[in-house]
Amino acid sequence: MLSFDEVLGRLKDILSAEVGNRRVLDKDIAEALGIAPAYFAVLKKRGSIPLAQVADFCARRKISINWLLYDQAPRSLEESTEKVATIRYFRQINASAGSGAINWEEGYETIRIDEALVRLLGGRKYLKNIDALEVRGDSMEPLLHDGDLIAVDRSRQQVRSGGIYVLRIGEELFIKQVERKNGEGWLCISLNPAYPAIHAEASEMHIIGEAVAIMQRES
């Protein structure tokens, strides 16, 4: 982090365009930061940067606080930030790979994904359609295991025969391979032969999205 005097110099440079032709004084800095001049004098003597006030100062003026405090160029920060990709993870919503579960709840957290997965999903512009759900049960083994995280593309709701989909039948949520049933409804198939297929009419089945990637497996 830059020293107090270096940060003070940058604050004065920023404010110089706001005060006109006169010299920027410490009391101008204090006023801009929302600090009493006497208290600012104490901070200056201690060399203590008022971080919260500086952060607010930068936010109001749309200035990079990293540039102000660390001399980091904004473009370099953008490039680093662009390498971080996130998607929504619905921890409380489990895609049952067994007999189904009434467990669709609101609320999600954000998780990071790596560049390899971003490319697999088609690039960053498609991430807005991607959610992560957790598999429960063993009916889709050996492809999917209990505890796997799957990436679900919500834009893919048109059934492609043989695709793996997260779907709702009634109030139950499943992950199944979907096949057309002689033109009359659908067969929702478990890859584990121990589980029978589920017959569903088109009117009673709602496709959440297609499972497009396995993200990780919990140990």
Contact between 103 and 97 (Cβ < 8 Å):
no
For the chain, the structural domain boundaries read 4-80, 85-217
Give 216's strand partners: 149
Q: Which of 9-13, 108-112, 154-158 has the lowest mean pLDDT?
A: 108-112
Residue 47, pLDDT above cutoff 70: yes
> pLDDT tens digits, residue range 186-207?
889 999 999 998 888 878 888 8
Res. 97 pLDDT band, cuts 50 70 90 = low
Higher pLDDT residue, 12 or 93? 12
Domain 4-80, CATH: 1.10.260
Predicted pLDDT at 194: 92
Residue 63, pLDDT above cutoff 60: yes
- Report the distance separating Cα 192 and Cα 176, nearest Å: 10
* CATH T-level fold of 85-217: Umud Fragment, subunit A (2.10.109)
Contacts of 194 (CB under 8 A, 6+ apart): 139
Res. 101 pLDDT band, cuts 50 70 90 = low
How confident is the prediction for the chain on average, in pLDDT? Answer: 83
Higher pLDDT residue, 56 or 90? 56
Higher pLDDT residue, 78 or 88? 88
Res. 79 pLDDT band, cuts 50 70 90 = low
Give 189's strand partners: 177
